[in-house]
Amino acid sequence: MKMRKLGSELTVSALGLGCMGMSHAYGGQDEAEAIRTLHHAVDSGVTFFDTAEVYGPFENEKLVGKALKPHRDKVTIATKFGFKIEGGTSNGVNSHPDHIRAVAEASLQRLGIEVIDLFYQHRVDPAVPIEDVVGTLKDLIAEGKIRTIGLSEAGPETLRRAHAVHPIAALQSEYSLWVRDPESTVLPVCRELGIGFVPYSPLGRGMLAGSVRTQADLAENDFRKTLPRFQPENLAANNAQIDLIEQIAAGKQITPAQLALAWVLNQAEFIVPIPGTRKISRLNENIKAAEISLSAEELKQIGAIITPDQVSGKRYTDASLAMTGL
């Protein structure tokens, strides 16, 4: 597996693994299968693993900590704070300094580690200046509780203000062939300031891999059924785009998932996608994308054929973007 830098301190595999779906949101979780997949990821050269307290809540951190304990010296573990978790669900944001400290201590315990490698603010809290948030995280670095600082779904101005207090290692936001907003907003800032960029949902929550054609492809309790893009009429409309992706991939003798991931990976060397999967077969498929090179002309052509303006349905409801970290 090729390696990439996130900021100045973290060197990780070019492709990470998003662990949320192993215990949260997508239904049909199987802990034994998840642990086998996590171990296989390490054996295959994946060193970067992403979780959060809100996934479960709490259960995903426990799972990741348990599975990766034998491999702690080989892996970089990222987790997140920033939500009020009440009654087993997230209920708004909270990045007050005392809450950040409490979450850091609890996450360390659940993960069973002595230091969090990358600690993200999961969503920006409008009630707490970003300078106060990063100042608290800077203190946690000095205390040896965390190694580096990350933000998620933050805008360019917030990113600049945060970086002025302490270097930010990574920004995590949704980015794929279907979600291009970062290209004109935060990617230029990441490039300028030397901040790594970590795309979540680089496979469009499964659609760009061709694995979701109708709601029948989703488990009964799969949260995607609540998202606009996954409503029956939008899924039907988006199948035309999936057909195009499959045609392009077939012409290159790769899978649609590998095409979508390679497109993201080839955008810049500071980009480290974290596609999620619970299955070893899908993990093996995704890993191969890190070896696929696409020229500037190929990237342009693919990006012109598959475009966000042709996608039917928003990625989130307005409320869920602010309230959840999914």
What digits encode the pLDDT tens for the residues 152-195?
A: 999 999 999 999 999 999 999 999 999 999 999 999 999 999 99
Report angle CA 206, 204, 184 to the nearest 5 degrees: 165
Per-residue three-class SS string for the chain: CCEEEECCCEEEECCCEECHHHCCCCCCCCHHHHHHHHHHHHHCCCCEEECCCCCCCCHHHHHHHHHHHHHHHHCEEEEEECEEEECCEEEEECCCHHHHHHHHHHHHHHHCCCCEEEEEECCCCCCCCHHHHHHHHHHHHHCCCEEEEEEECCCHHHHHHHHHHCCCCEEEEECECCECHHHCCCHHHHHHHCCEEEEECCCHHHHHHCCCCCHHHCCCCCHHHHCHHHCHHHHHHHHHHHHHHHHHHHHCCCCHHHHHHHHHHCCCCCECCCCECCCHHHHHHHHHHHHCCCCHHHHHHHHHHCCHHHCCCCCCCHHHHHHCCC
Structurally, the chain folds into a number of domains equal to 1
User: Pick the residue with more confidence: 278 or 325?
Assistant: 278
Residue 110 has pLDDT above 60, yes or no: yes
Q: pLDDT tens, 204-239?
A: 999 999 999 999 999 988 999 999 999 999 999 999
Question: Rounded to 5 degrees, what are φ and ψ at 138?
Answer: -60, -40
The model's confidence at residue 116, banded by pLDDT at 50, 70 and 90, is very high
pLDDT at residue 87, as a whole number: 87
Confidence at residue 18, expressed as pLDDT on a 0 to 100 scale: 98
112: left (phi over 0), alpha (psi -120 to 50) or beta: left
Of the chain, the percentage scoring pLDDT greater than 90 comes to 92
Average pLDDT, the chain: 95
What are the pLDDT digits (tens) for 260-287?
999 999 999 999 999 999 999 999 999 9
pLDDT for 326 beyond 80: no
Mean pLDDT of the region 19-34? 91
Check residue 23 and give left, alpha or beta (phi > 0: left; psi -120 to 50: alpha). Answer: alpha
Q: How confident is the model at residue 28 (pLDDT cuts 50, 70, 90)?
A: confident
Instruction: Please name every residue paired with 283 in a beta bridge, in sequence order, or none if there are none.
Output: none
**In which residue are the tokens 């301190």 written?**
9
pLDDT for the residue numbered 100: 98
User: Containing domain of residue 279, as a range?
Assistant: 3-323
pLDDT at position 320, please?
64
pLDDT level of residue 88 (50, 70, 90 thresholds): confident
Pairing of strands 146-152, 116-121: parallel
Q: Tell me, what's the pLDDT at 317?
A: 80
- Say whether 55 is catalytic: yes
For residue 321, what pLDDT band results from cuts at 50, 70 and 90?
Answer: low
Name the more confident of 25 and 99.
Answer: 99
Tokens found for residue 221? 């309790």
Output the pLDDT for position 27: 83
Distance CA 172, CA 118 (A): 11
Instruction: Let me know: does 80 contact 54? Beta carbons within 8 Å.
Output: yes
Residue 18: give its domain's CATH number.
Answer: 3.20.20.100
Q: Is the pLDDT of residue 325 over 70?
A: no
pLDDT in tens, 306-319: 999 999 999 988 76
On whether the CB atoms of residues 264 and 234 are closer than 8 A, the answer is no
Q: Is the previous residue joined to 126 through a cis bond, with omega within 30 degrees of 0? A: no
- Give the pLDDT score at 7: 98
pLDDT of residue 46 exceeding 80: yes
pLDDT at res. 254: 98
In the set 55, 120, 175, 200, the catalytic residue is: 55
Contact at 8 Å (CB) between 225 and 218?
yes
CB 86 within 8 A of CB 95: no
The whole-number pLDDT of residue 29 equals: 84
pLDDT at 129: 98
